[in-house]
Amino acid sequence: MKADVVERDEHELTGLRAVLNYGHTFAHAYETCGGYGALLHGEAVAIGMTDAARLAHKKGLVGADFVQRQTKLLEALWLPTSPQAEFATDDLISVMKRDKKAVGGQMRFILPTRLGAVKLFDDVPEALVRDVLESR
């Protein structure tokens, strides 16, 4: 499926490839702050997807039922939905501000807008991100 998406948007012109980055802004922060190898990439992405869904809920993009459904699905696949280690919120946010998708230090997130659909957001207040990271 990934190859099909990349083939249809090889040069990232249509925005279709954004779906492949769902959860990655959070995931890369966990990987960096935890030291590569502490989490498998897929585990970090599963945690990041959970955080992204929670952030989308806080922004009013999806309902709590969406977050619960996705969390149950990831758990059914034996994937983590929250980090087992403690991470400093400031450290995670600092990494997210340097993420390859960030522009001028402004965090950007791929967030769900409904089941099966995501969109790129660059207007996410840092306070909402902090709330997601600190309200587990």
Residue 84 counted as domain residue:
yes
Quick one: pLDDT band at residue 33, thresholds 50, 70, 90?
Answer: very high
Residue 1 counted as domain residue:
no
Asked whether the beta carbons of 61 and 132 are under 8 A apart, the reply is no
Residue 12 counted as domain residue:
no
pLDDT at residue 103, as a whole number? 72
Closest to 62 measured CA to CA, from 125, 113, 136: 113
Amino acid, res. 107: M
pTM above 0.85, yes or no: yes
Residue 10 counted as domain residue:
no
Question: Cα dist. 28→20, 47, 74, 111, 124 in Å?
Answer: 13, 10, 18, 15, 18
Mean pLDDT of 37-51: 94
Asked whether the beta carbons of 49 and 23 are under 8 A apart, the reply is yes
pLDDT at residue 38, as a whole number? 85
The whole-angstrom separation of Cα 111 and Cα 19 is 9
For the stretch 64-98, pLDDT in tens is: 999 999 999 999 999 999 998 889 999 999 999 98
The whole-angstrom separation of Cα 10 and Cα 33 is 30
Give the CATH number of the domain where residue 86 resides: 1.20.1090.10
Residue 96 counted as domain residue:
yes
Number of domains within the chain? 1
Could you tell me the residue range of the domain that residue 86 belongs to?
19-134
Residue 114 counted as domain residue:
yes
Residue 6 counted as domain residue:
no
DSSP tag of 21 = G
Residue 71 counted as domain residue:
yes
The whole-angstrom separation of Cα 45 and Cα 134 is 18
